[in-house]
Amino acid sequence: MGDSMVRRDAAVYDSVRGTLEAARKKAAVAVNDAMVEAYWEVGRQIVEAQGDRAEYGKHLMKYLSERLTKEFGKGFTKRNLFCMKQFYLAFPIVHTLCAQLSWSHYRLLIRVEDEKKRLFYMREAVDQRWTVRQLDCEIHSFYYERLLATREERRESVRQEVKVLEPPTKADGLLKDPYVLDFLDMGGRTDYREDDLEQALMNRLQEFLLELGRGFAFVARQQRIAAETESYYVDLVFYHCILKCYVLIDLKTGKITPQDVGQMDFYVRLYDDRCTQPDDNPTIGIILCATKDATVARYSALADDKGLFAARYTLCLPTEEELARALEPTSALFLE
């Protein structure tokens, strides 16, 4: 058999395989969509049959579980039937369901009691194509609360200065505070250096991109920016595909200083001048630090809120008390 025939056979195989793989994916999506709708319908029927009769509901769950398991096999335990009931109660309008999400996604979502928060996570899971594991990680790392706290903090700074809300800027939805870097293996150390933190983030880049959020694409580490007489190096550079701009990140293991802000302001201006293209939006700079300082935040370029920001990071999940304080109507950061 000649080489040309082998190549031809391989090409035919690849084409056939691609067709079958595409059909398999379509079938899986169709099956998932059908099963999600079926579980929703089962939940609806249980809720309507039970009504206000709690005792009858317990009997009904047991009865259905026994008969359905006998006929359809595993998957219809009382616990699973209860999940279907909660599924209907959490999403009472079937048209709000998203075909892109699996039953496993919805089993996580129905545990989120607050409706606004639940719908937020559903939209984010679809938009960012989160796996079940990623959705679980974001829920347990308080992604919604951290994003809300960050937005509230930025709004509060404007309230204190001009007593009115500032129109949304292009950074709205970009920042979190704090960033939770609990996926890093720092061995419980507290004496790590900035280059240690940088290396750890590069080792777990996929998890870091997930924590950064939608739209971020990694560009470079220690990117060199050449000036007339010397060169400068930015810790981490990303491109935000939605905002169409570069995002520079400077890592600080201690408290932010005025010098840190001045340096990042310089980097952003230099990067705009030397590295961006005419169709790029202005560069954003984020100083990722262990601790923020209220005075530095108030009396430096950070207060302008026009492309330069400081955000904290933590190597462990924030407690509910810490998040509650962050969500207070007035932020202590700007009221000292």
Question: What pLDDT is attached to residue 332?
Answer: 40
Concatenated DSSP letters of 29-92: HHHHHHHHHHHHHHHHHHHHHHTT-HHHHHHHHHHHHHHHHHHH-SS--HHHHHHHHHHHHH--
Beta strands at 281-291 and 245-255: parallel, antiparallel or unpaired: parallel
Q: Please enumerate in sequence order all residues whose Cβ is within 8 A of that of 274, keeping only pairs 6 or more positions apart, or say none.
A: 225, 226, 227
Question: What pLDDT is attached to residue 29?
Answer: 67
Q: Give the bridge partners for 99, in sequence order.
A: none
Question: What pLDDT is attached to residue 12?
Answer: 74
Cis peptide before 258 (omega within 30 of 0): no
Q: Report d(CA 286, CA 266) in Å as an integer.
A: 12
User: Which whole-number Å values give the CA distances from 6 to 9, 13, 82, in the listed order?
Assistant: 5, 10, 56
Q: What type of residue sits at position 51?
A: G
Q: Report d(CA 54, CA 215) in Å as an integer.
A: 47
Cα–Cα–Cα angle for 118, 40, 112, nearest 5°? 20
Question: What pLDDT is attached to residue 253?
Answer: 87
Domains, the chain, ordered by start: 3-97 (no CATH), 143-334 (3.40.1350.10)
Q: Give the bridge partners for 289, in sequence order.
A: 252, 312
Q: Please enumerate in sequence order all residues whose Cβ is within 8 A of that of 202, keeping only pairs 6 or more positions apart, or say none.
A: 221
Per-position pLDDT tens, the chain of length 336: 567 777 786 777 777 777 777 777 777 667 788 888 888 998 999 998 888 787 887 888 888 988 888 888 788 888 889 999 999 999 998 888 888 899 999 999 999 988 999 999 999 899 888 889 889 888 887 888 877 766 655 544 434 443 333 444 566 567 777 788 888 877 666 678 888 889 889 988 988 888 888 889 999 999 999 888 888 999 999 999 888 999 999 998 888 888 988 999 999 999 999 999 999 999 999 998 888 777 776 767 776 667 888 888 887 766 666 656 555 543 343 333
Is 313 in a helix, a strand, or coil?
strand
Structure pTM?
0.58
Question: What pLDDT is attached to residue 267?
Answer: 92
Q: Report d(CA 221, CA 260) in Å as an integer.
A: 18
Q: Please enumerate in sequence order all residues whose Cβ is within 8 A of that of 270, keeping only pairs 6 or more positions apart, or say none.
A: 225, 227, 232
Question: What pLDDT is attached to residue 178?
Answer: 78
Question: What pLDDT is attached to residue 299?
Answer: 63
Terminal-to-terminal C-alpha distance of the chain: 82
Q: Report d(CA 146, CA 210) in Å as an integer.
A: 14
Question: What pLDDT is attached to residue 306?
Answer: 72
User: Which whole-number Å values give the CA distances from 252 to 5, 193, 196, 291, 312, in the listed order?
Assistant: 60, 9, 11, 9, 9
Locus of tokens 């001048």:
273
Beta strands at 231-240 and 216-226: parallel, antiparallel or unpaired: antiparallel
Beta strands at 216-226 and 245-255: parallel, antiparallel or unpaired: unpaired
